[in-house]
Amino acid sequence: MRAHPAGPLHADVASSHESVARPATPAALNHLSSAVWPASARRNADGAIEIGGVDVRDAVAAHSSPLFLFDEDDLRSRARRYRDAYVGAGARLVYYAAKAFLSTSVARWVTEEGLGIDVASGGELAVALRAGVPGDRLLMHGNNKSVEEIEAAIAAGVGRIVVDSFEDIVRIADAAGRAGVVQPVLVRVTVGVEAHTHEFIATAHEDQKFGLSLSTGAADEAVRRIAKLPSLALVGLHSHIGSQIFDAAGFQVAAARVVSLAQRLWDEQGIEVEELNLGGGMGIAYVDSDDPLDVADMAFQIGDIVGKECAAAGIPLPTLAFEPGRAIVGPAAITIYEVGTVKPVELDRGAVRTYVSVDGGMSDNIRTALYDAEYTVTLASRESSAEPVLCRVVGKHCESGDIVVRDAWLPGDLAPGDLLAVAATGAYCRSMASNYNYLPRPAVVAAAQGRLAVLLRRETLDDLLALDPGA
Ligand code: LLP
């Protein structure tokens, strides 16, 4: 919890107004770096951004603003690259982590590209099933799955359910027993590695809600209990160390610790861990300075360490599984906003920050407010050669923390009616969106070969009013 004493200074105006480098030339502001923008992003003859051959102005004319716009081919090619790299490194299946963003179209696309899907609720399961994803391509997570969710998963023939607690073991075993099936399960192990973007810290004990602890023996105990239940089949272990991870170091520590449990199970109980699921968390670039390891290198390094650890432990090499979410969808989409107001605010020492208010905000992207996330933003409906000004792109919600991009240089002629595009908003933006201030959630559309398809339509005020029986 960050807190500051009450007083006049309710924004960090003094400390951060020079935190992003001023662009070398005005023209640099028009540049679309391939590190952060979708693969097909380009400026057309009008200087407007096109994605998948669709001009953002046309997309907004058709589906209103704010708007999430996916590059379908980019999303699909990321899915293929992750599948190829991790299958090449020893994975049986790469599951797309649906929590990053889910619609039936995306579920179909990733399935067509050879991925499974990791669902973390009955709702995500329902979308995947509606999309026709076969049950054996699904894996279910959750630290508090309801009996109804477990029953729905078992009825769908979900290939893996990940056990997260002792209660889970009993509930899954009972539901499988009632259904007359043997349900394959993994045990989620808390390995005491907490990943933080670039680095990781190993903690002595794991103070968080997920999984069963390795250090207290809870994970061993879970395996013992599962082995006694005829309606459950233990197929392996699971570990997820965090999100937006840029290198393989955290995965390597996690893999080493999970392999040590696998060795103990082999030596002491004669149980073979056939599958090791190392979760997701592969990071992406939100700004040019972000430098995540290339997918092929990351996959190779993780596969290599698992191989070496298993050889050293003298246990059979398990097949691997992974659950990337952000890395599949994050960079493949942008958010388009319309500028409503442009307000220069004087800072200390004569500096000025220009507050650019757009027609969305923390209801369609909570990540800046929640995680201090950084984003890249550019003028999308035209090019400009005006001098860059230091801006803060803010939303329209009744909160001063309603910030979309904390520090950005934008052209000094920016005006109401201009469209801005924020890059890499495909993951954890629409999926974490809210209706704060009764804002309808934006549409999500996908462009390919010059055509747009609706993935999720825009909400209407009638949708929101329909929830209120008194309205
Ligand atoms: N597997 C498990 C068990 C997970 O808990 C998660 C993410 C993933 C896979 C996918 O992780 P990814 O590859 O997408 O990093 N709302 C946060 C991220 C929360 C991630 C939660 N679990 C954000 O906006 O950054």
Q: pLDDT tens per residue, the chain (471 residues)?
A: 444 445 444 444 434 455 788 998 999 999 999 999 999 999 999 999 999 999 999 999 999 999 999 999 999 999 999 999 999 999 999 999 999 999 999 999 999 999 999 999 999 999 999 999 999 999 999 999 999 999 999 999 999 999 999 999 999 999 999 999 999 999 999 998 877 655 666 664 578 899 999 999 999 999 999 999 999 999 999 999 999 999 999 999 999 999 999 999 999 989 999 999 999 999 999 999 999 999 999 999 999 999 999 999 999 999 999 999 999 999 999 999 999 999 999 988 888 999 999 999 999 999 999 999 999 999 999 999 999 999 999 999 999 999 999 999 999 999 999 999 999 999 999 999 999 999 999 999 999 999 999 999 999 999 999 999 999
Q: Give me the residues paired with residue 233 across strands.
A: 184
Torsion of CA 214, 220, 222, 224, to 10 degrees: 180
Contacts of 148 (CB under 8 A, 6+ apart): 122
pLDDT value at residue 131: 98
Contact predicate 156/125, CB 8 Å: yes
Distance from the CA of 107 to the center of ligand 1, in angstroms?
A: 17
Q: Is the peptide bond before 66 cis (omega within 30 degrees of 0)?
A: yes
- Integer angstrom CA distances of residue 446 from 55, 77, 96, 127, 320: 12, 14, 18, 18, 32
CA distances from 466 to 334, 460, 470 (A): 29, 10, 9
Is there a contact between 443 and 65 (Cβ–Cβ < 8 Å)? Answer: no
Would you report the helix, strand and coil content of the chain in percent, each value rounded to 5? 35, 25, 40
Query: What local confidence, expressed as pLDDT, does residue 194 receive?
Result: 75
- 99 CA from centroid of ligand 1 (Å): 7
Q: Provide the token pair at 315.
A: 């246990």
Q: Which residues contact 48 (CB under 8 A, 6 or more apart)?
A: 55, 56, 57, 380, 381, 382, 419
Residue 326 Cβ inside 6 Å of ligand 1? The answer reads: yes
Which of 83, 81, 79, 84 minimizes the C-alpha distance to 107? 79
Q: What is the pLDDT of residue 350?
A: 84
96/118 Cα distance (integer angstroms): 6
Is 324 close to ligand 1, i.e. is its CB under 6 Å away? yes
- Please name the residue whose Cα sits nearest to atom 6 of ligand 1: 280
Q: Is the pTM of this model over 0.75?
A: yes
- Our CA angle for 13, 428, 90, nearest 5°, is 125
The predicted pLDDT at position 348 comes to 82
Mutate to test the pocket of ligand 1, among 323, 335, 362 (most ligand atoms within 8 A of CB): 323
Do 164 and 211 meet the contact criterion of CB atoms below 8 Å apart? yes
Give the integer Cα–Cα distance in Å for 285 and 327: 9
Residue type, 385: S
Going along 27-170, which residue ranges are E strands? 42-43, 49-51, 54-55, 67-71, 91-97, 116-119, 138-140, 160-163
- Residue among 89, 79, 88 nearest 113 (CA): 79
Position 416 scores a pLDDT of 98
Tell me, using a 6 A CB cutoff, whether residue 441 lines ligand 1. no
- A 10 A CB-CB count for 180 gives 8
Count of beta carbons in the 10 Å neighbourhood of residue 367: 18
Separation of CA 242 and ligand 1 centre (Å): 7
Q: Which long-range contacts (CB under 8 A, 24 or more apart) does 6-13 make?
A: 10/400, 11/400, 13/345, 13/347, 13/348, 13/353
- Contacts of residue 338, defined as CB under 8 A and 6 or more positions apart, other chains included, come to 60, 65, 66, 358, 359, 417, 418, 419, 420
C-beta separation of 353 from 392 below 8 A: yes
Q: Do 48 and 343 touch, CB atoms closer than 8 A?
A: no
Give the per-residue pLDDT at 201.
62
- Measured distance CA(26)–CA(396) in Å, rounded: 28
Ligand 1 lined by 124 (C-beta under 6 Å): no
In 165-227, the DSSP E strands lie at 183-190, 193-196, 199-202, 212-213
Instruction: Identify the CA nearest to 79 among candidates 96, 66, 63.
Output: 96
Q: Which residue has the tokens 């990337």?
A: 324
Whole-number pLDDT of residue 11: 46
Q: Which atom of ligand 1 is nearest to the CA of 432?
A: 16
Nearest-atom index, ligand 1, CA of 238: 3
Q: Give the CA dihedral 463, 465, 470, 471, nearest 10 degrees.
A: -120
Ligand 1 atom closest to the Cα of residue 244 is 15
| Interval between CA 323 and ligand 1 midpoint (Å) | 9
Q: Is 398 a catalytic residue?
A: yes
Ligand 1, from 102, 243, 278, 375: best to mutate by most atoms within 8 Å of Cβ?
Answer: 243
Q: Whose CA is nearest to atom 15 of ligand 1?
A: 281
| Domains of the chain, each with CATH number or no CATH | 13-71+332-458 (2.40.37.10), 116-327 (3.20.20.10)
The catalytic position among 310, 391, 398, 429 is: 398
- Is the CB of 140 inside a 6 Å radius of any atom of ligand 1? no
DSSP symbol at 201: E
Any ligand 1 atom below 6 A from CB of 240: yes
The finding on whether 190 has its CB within 6 A of some atom of ligand 1 is no
- Cβ of 367 closer than 6 Å to ligand 1, yes or no, is yes
